[in-house]
A and B are shown apart, each in its own frame.
Chain A
Amino acid sequence: MKKISLAINRNSLRFIVPYVLFLLCWLIVSLAVRGYGTVGHFLYIVQFAGLLGIVAAGQTLVIVAGGIDLSVGAIITLSAVIATQTAFSAHLAFPLAVLAGLLGSVVFGVVNGIGVGIIRIPPLIMTLATLTIANGVSLLVTNGAPHEVRDPSFQTWVVKPGMLGINGILQTWIIVSVIVVFLVSSTSYGKKIQFLGSSPKATVYAGYNSKALILVVYVLSALLSAVTGILLIGFTGNSYLGMGDSYSLSSIAAVVMGGTSILGGSGSYLGTIAGALLLTLIASVLTLFQVSGGGQTAVEGAILLLLMIAYTTATRTRD
């Protein structure tokens, strides 16, 4: 009995640890750096974390279902590039251009889903291939040149505080969070993808359509990446090749930091939210201390590795 209660504690610990780490880091930095510990700056970090948090929502679903999606970064770039290109070169109305960007990403999500679910290509390799192809398509669409976004009302909505005093990124993130948390914890679909992640064979024997489940997971991941891509063009004011690249690894890092098992089967988006917050805070602190991009990547990698080791050794008793 004691062992069981210990296991439960350790499992819930997985989702609490990143929040505690986040608040602890925040506290330390606030005490050490003048001007950091304000409500405004806290809100800024939370809003900025939304960009990562939304991609990581899709990544959470994919990883819980036993897969991995390396193509999210390339899909972010692709959706951003398609939206700006159709809006300002083909003079499409901005909402229609956004729709075009989302549709382009869904195509790649469907391809990923077919490859992994139906042809049964290992997800890592499948999404590595679509990553390369999506980058190629982005290059074709733009010819390599960056494009500006000329839609002031959209940009204002994304960046400036609006409803409830928060900006469009955070508004979107809250909506996405509510939907994804509800999807995973309270619907049969959520139960099924957890089932799929812990035992793909049993899922088939239980009579579930694992192909359809996998297809939906990858389409959702692509769609959520595209949402980040669209928000990102509002945030930066333009689109350029490689703008989403860093999100592929960061989103996986956020999911792992949030306590979701990289082997699939168990996880929660609530943990991922904390992972995204923590990663964004770390990046912000490193920038503050003038650590270069390469140094930031190295630190992110080291933290990711340490947390993986910590979680794996902490839950060893489950095996």
Chain B
Amino acid sequence: MNEALNPMRKMASRVPLAFIPAAIVLCVNIVLNPHILSLRGINNLALQIVPLALAVMAQTVVVLVRELDMSIGAVVCLTTVVVGTTTDSLHLLSLPLAMVVAGLFGLFSGLIVAYIRIPGIVVTLATSMIIGGLALVILPQPGGSVDNFVQNLVNGQPIVVPNSLLILLAVMLIWKYVKNAKLGNGIYAAGGNPFSAYASGLSVEKAKIAAYVGSALLASVAGIVVCGKTMTGDATIGNPYTLSSIAGTVLGGASFMGGVGTMKGAVAGALILGVLVNILFFLGLSSHYQNIAEGIILLAAVIISVLTNREGSD
């Protein structure tokens, strides 16, 4: 009732809190470096943020069911390797192939987590070794050849809006559909309160499996975008995404206790993380400090989230 009477409030509750700091860092970046508002600047920013946003979304889906996915970086690596080694012969088909391979690994992790009941953190630590190892076996040195259509697909910018951004929007639309379907309800319920989800006849196992498959698919889309950006297969290029995806998920307002978090928040979290690193660079911070800066941003985000959650529960 109250919500119906107060449309402003309804609007505010729909916009994740993370958009405020995201907007602030973006404004600071624009003030410091107005060039990012040029056509090329927008495209570059999108190419930098979109794979990160997809990786954060991948992590968020799993965090929603109260698990973690440590294999996101490895899936990104394997995807670039599969695309890098098969576009010559399979052309357009290599993209769905890469996604199917990733999805199967997601299914594999999900089945073990759900039915053998081993914590997802360690299962995906092990599967990340398998996936990353396989990627290195297929392509020990960065290389392979990526067909131009991948570049056009990802890197193009026909009218102002970069294609990479359109890919992100398409993924978010699909998520909106999934979220409102039975599957999405199951995922939120399974993470928020597994016991009542079970009691009301929802399958927590299926929700977990779906989350891991979804996570792997999102990570492979991130890999395809990375591939379109770098135009090579590289079995190690994705590794930093595992850490960044966790940092972005925390910044995006998802709770590690499951059931809380949105994809809009995930995108905002990725925006904060990516743009903040840009700003630090623009301020002349040596690239030597990048690791330290990212670690401290992650820590700050987690500390804030832990402290606010604790106050909320008291």
Q: How far does the alpha carbon of A41 sit from the alpha carbon of B118 in the complex, in Å?
A: 36
Smallest distance from the beta carbon of A141 to chain B beta carbons, Å?
10
Distance between Cα atoms of A167 and B40 in the complex (Å): 60
B302/A133 in contact, CB under 8 A = no
CB-contacts of B231-250 with A (<8 A): 235, 243, 246, 250
Contact with A along B273-314 (1 / 0, CB 8 A): 000000000000000111111111011001100110010000
CB-CB nearest in chain A for B243:
A128
B128 in contact (CB, < 8 A): yes
B105 CB to closest chain A CB (Å) equals 11
Q: Is the CB of A125 within 8 A of B130?
A: no
Contact of B130 among A121, A253, A301, A312 (CB under 8 A): A301
Tell whether A146 is near chain B: CB-to-CB under 8 Å. Answer: no
Do B130 and A302 touch (CB < 8 A)? yes
In the complex, are the beta carbons of A139 and B256 less than 8 A apart?
A: no
For the complex, what is the distance from the CA of A189 to the CA of B264, rounded to whole Å? 46
Q: Does any Cβ of A come within 8 Å of B68's Cβ?
A: yes
Beyond A125-B302, A253-B126, A305-B123, 12 additional contacts (C-beta under 8 Å) are A119-B307, A124-B68, A125-B256, A132-B243, A136-B288, A139-B288, A292-B140, A297-B133, A300-B129, A301-B127, A305-B112, A312-B116
A16, CB-defined interface residue at 8 Å:
no
Contact partner of A129 (CB less than 8 A), chosen from B121, B122, B235, B298, is B298
Which residues in B have their C-beta under 8 angstroms from that of A297? 129-130, 132-133, 136
Interface residue count on the A side (C-beta < 8 Å): 44
A126 near B: Cβ within 8 Å?
Answer: yes
Complex CA gap A126/B122 in Å reads 16
Q: Does A68 contact B (CB under 8 A)?
A: yes
- 0/1 interface trace, chain A 57-69, chain B, CB 8 Å (1 if under): 0000000000010
- Give B contacts to A, CB under 8 Å: 68, 112, 116-119, 121-123, 125-130, 132-137, 140, 235, 243, 246, 250, 256, 288-296, 298-299, 302-303, 306-307, 310
The reply to whether the CB of A130 lies closer than 8 angstroms to some CB of chain B is: yes
Q: Is the CB of A308 within 8 A of B132?
A: no
A256 adjacent to chain B (CB < 8 Å): yes
* CA–CA, A140 and B132, complex, Å: 28
Is A201 an interface residue, CB under 8 A from the partner? no
Whether B126 contacts A305 by the Cβ 8 Å rule is yes
Taking a contact as CB atoms under 8 Å apart, the answer to whether B292 and A125 are in contact is no
A130 to B295, Cβ gap below 8 A? yes
| A40 beta carbon closer than 8 Å to chain B | no
CB distance from A112 to the nearest CB of B (A): 11
- Report the nearest B residue to A313, measured CB to CB: B116
Q: A126 to B127, alpha carbons, bound, how many Å?
A: 21
User: How many A-B pairs with Cβ below 8 Å?
Assistant: 126
A271-314 CB mask vs B (1 if < 8 Å, else 0) is: 00000000000000000000011111111111011001100110
**What are the residues of chain A within 8 A of B302 when measuring CB–CB?**
121-122, 125-126, 129
Write out the residue numbers on chain A whose beta carbons fall within 8 Å of the beta carbon of B133. Answer: 294-301
Bound-state Cα–Cα, A68 to B122, Å: 10
A262 at the interface (CB under 8 A from B): yes
* A-side contacts of B121, CB under 8 Å: 68, 124
Q: A213 within 8 Å of B by Cβ? A: no
Tell me, yes or no, whether A137 is within 8 Å of chain B by CB.
yes
Q: Which residues of A128-155 are within 8 A (CB) of B?
A: 128-133, 135-137, 139-140, 143
Please tell me if A107 contacts chain B, counting CB pairs below 8 Å.
no
The distance in angstroms between the C-alpha atoms of A68 and B126, with both chains bound, is 14
User: B119: which of A130, A263, A294 is its contact (CB, 8 Å)?
Assistant: A263
Residues of B within 8 A of A298 (CB): 129-130, 132-134, 137
Q: Report the minimum CB–CB distance from A118 to chain B (whole Å).
A: 11
Q: Is the CB of B291 within 8 A of A139?
A: yes
Report whether A252 and B122 are in contact in the complex, using a CB–CB cutoff of 8 Å: yes
Answer whether residue A160 sits at the interface, using C-beta atoms and an 8 A cutoff. no
Whether B125 contacts A252 by the Cβ 8 Å rule is yes
A294 with B295, Cβ < 8 A, contacts A121-B303, A136-B288, A263-B119 known = no
- The listed residue with most B CB atoms (<10 A of its CB), out of A132, A137, A139, A312, is A132
| CB of A17 closer than 8 Å to a CB of B | no
CB neighbours (8 Å) of A294 from chain B are 132-137, 140, 235
Give B251 Cβ to nearest chain A Cβ, in Å: 12
Q: Which residues of B contact A252 (CB under 8 A)?
A: 122, 125
Among B288, B290, B299, B302: residue with most chain A CB under 10 A: B299
| A249 CB-CB contact with B under 8 Å | yes
With most chain A CB atoms within 10 A of its CB, the pick from B125, B127, B290 is B125
Bound Cα distance A124, B140 (Å)? 29
Residues in B whose Cβ lies below 8 Å from that of A139: 288, 291
- Chain A hits for B293, CB < 8 A: 136
* Chain B residues positioned under 8 Å from A122 (CB to CB): 256, 302
Complexed CA–CA distance, A299 and B288 (Å): 33
Q: Which residues of B contact A119 (CB under 8 A)?
A: 303, 306-307
Identity of the chain B residue whose Cβ is nearest the Cβ of A133 in the assembled complex: B295
| B255 CB to nearest A CB, Å | 11
Contact (Cβ within 8 A) A133 B136: no
Minimal Cβ-Cβ distance residue in A for B303: A119
Which of A133, A304, A312 is in CB contact (< 8 Å) with B126?
Answer: A304
Q: Which of B116, B295, B296, B310 has the most CB of A within 10 A?
A: B295
> Could you tell me the distance in whole angstroms from the C-beta of A251 to the nearest C-beta in chain B?
11
